[in-house]
Amino acid sequence: MDQTVVLITGCSSGIGLSLAVRLASDPSKIYKVYATMRDLAKKKRLMDCVKDSHKDTMDVLQMDITHHQSILDVRDGIKEKRVDILVCNAGVGLVGPLESQSMEMMRQILEVNVLGTIRTIQTFLPGMKARGSGRVLVTGSIGGLQGLPFNEIYCASKFAVEGVCESLAILLQHFNIHVSLIECGPVNTDFLANLRRTEPGDASLSQADARTRALYATYLQHCDTMFQDAAQEAGDIVQVFLEAIEAQSPALRYYTNSALLPLTTLKLAARDGSQYVKAMNKFIFSIDKAGDC
């Protein structure tokens, strides 16, 4: 019986690494995993995790999703000449007042999170269509479903990914290809350590007014508390990925953290959004309406 070929982006750490290890270590060896990362110098952690259990189940490949030729090279190097399950997991975050963000930095975030994801799907989609089967799983975010202050560019990128996946899900049913978004909240991974974050002492903060800087300081304190209280482990997220992979009829969205669902539900239910904005202000800044400090 042929193995199910899985290609995963962003496997140097976090969710991508954990998912690659879980699938490659499956005792039944039903998966062949192509674990990709931009910098192969970071593959040691992945190799240490799988040890000798991956000889027939995993290859580690260099792939930079911001360069089309890099993706093509991986596609052409896959021994089975097909990908049954594509997992678009690579991404990067950006936190800070909008006034402090350079155009170059904003472009980098959009290049990775939006165009990198689109470029990867675009490359492997024709093969899936030709075979009349396939799965596309994308690491989404609660920030793609609701706006978060000081995450404007990150949320913009994740909102865009939501639109891409939702649009494709409608079309790809005609080709027996299922698209699923794994909607994550805070996760204890290197994503936080690698976050592009405006620090309180950064010179770029001078571009923002004093009130914005004060609210940003409050936001950073809230984030630290939220990660302590609500953050999940990568293994918890992997279980949700497995649910989507093993489902006969996968859902479009899988939510990994029920703690944040009430605010998402409120946003979707509120026609004009005003109640959601007030609720988010109370949740993050402990104030009843924007402007009350």
Of the ranges 51-65, 82-96, 116-130, which one carries the lowest mean pLDDT score?
A: 51-65
The single-letter DSSP state of residue 54 is: T
Residue 284, pLDDT > 50, answer yes
Each residue's pLDDT tens digit, 135-176: 999 999 989 998 899 999 999 999 999 999 999 999 999 999
Q: Which pLDDT score, from 0 to 100, does residue 197 have?
A: 83
Mean pLDDT estimate for the chain: 90
Domains and CATH numbers, the chain: 4-206+232-256 (3.40.50.720)
Calculate mean pLDDT across residues 185-212. Answer: 82
Predicted local confidence at residue 289, as pLDDT: 44
| Structure tokens that stand for 4 in this block | 């199910």
Q: Establish whether 154 is a catalytic residue.
A: yes
Where is the binding site for substrate, in residues? 141
C-alpha dist (Å) from residue 13 to 29, 105, 284:
22, 22, 28
pTM, entire model: 0.91
pLDDT digit string, tens, across residues 211-243: 999 999 999 888 777 666 777 888 999 999 999
Please state the residue numbers annotated as binding site for NADP(+): 10-38, 64, 158
Which of 135, 137, 103 is closest to 117 using CA atoms?
137
Coil/strand/helix, residue 85 = strand
Q: What is the pLDDT of residues 12-43, one digit of tens each?
A: 999 999 999 999 999 999 999 999 999 999 99
Q: Which residues are annotated as a binding site?
A: 10-38, 64, 141, 158
Question: Residue 209: its pLDDT value, please?
Answer: 93
List the catalytic residue out of 154, 216, 254, 255.
Answer: 154
pLDDT of residue 291: 41
pLDDT of residue 290: 40
